[in-house]
Structure 1
Amino acid sequence: MSLIAKTPKPPYYAVIFTSQRTEDDHGYGPMAARMVELAAKQPGFLGIESAREDVGITVSYWSDLEAIKQWKANAEHQVAQKLGREQWYSSFKTRISKVERDYGI
């Protein structure tokens, strides 16, 4: 399985979530896995890439802004967002970008 998302020809959108974790886990691992599973079922989801060291970076790809809005409003995702603010992240930032071009091998 490739760790690089298979995205369609641009344009499409990327949601870039960068974070610094708190010391305690508080169920983070299972919730993170559930969010990937749930996002993959959302209309407009195209793929996801994630890495974690000192800073965690997760990039999810979406067909359009409406799909991103619907994912943000998902009830289970809202629970995860609340837990993230309260328990899992000492800081985070979300950025939304339109992908105009991509290339690679």
Structure 2
Amino acid sequence: MSIAKTRPAPYYAVIFTSIRTPGDDGYNDMADAMVELAARQPGFLGVESAREELGITVSYWDSLASIAAWKQNTKHLAAQRAGQDKWYERYKTRICLVERDYEFSSCTPEN
């Protein structure tokens, strides 16, 4: 996993925070498939994800219209239903405008 390479701000972040039910039951395969599918959607800029007891996935998009289109993607809708039926105890989604970003790296760039 790496830090997403986004374009210069402004852009949008969708923050999906979740508490999972016990077990996998196909969750990891579906999560991987959704990242691959999202990456092919117009307006997708990148994704970052971390999971311990609390899962947080942040996807980055160029516009609210791109986010709305992703939310209505047929395969994504099926994954959302499966998540509510078997994978999530609770979740919350937040959509934010990223007005500024900056970074630090102690790594020397490769030539």
TM bucket by the smaller chain? over 0.9
What residue is the counterpart of 1:26 in the other structure?
25
What residue is the counterpart of 1:9 in the other structure?
8
CA distance in structure 2 between the partners assigned to 1:11 and 1:72 by the alignment: 21
Structure 2: stretches of 5+ with no match in the other structure: 105-111
Pairwise CA RMSD: 0.8
CA distance in structure 2 between the partners assigned to 1:41 and 1:63 by the alignment: 13
CA distance in structure 1 between the partners assigned to 2:76 and 2:69 by the alignment: 10
Off by >4 Å, runs of 4+ in structure 1: none
Identity %: 62
Structure with greater Cα Rg: 2
1:1-105 alignment, distance < 5 Å: 3-105=2-104
The count of corresponding residues between Structure 1 and Structure 2 is: 104
TM-score normalised to structure 2 length = 0.92
Deviation of 1:72 (Å): 0.2
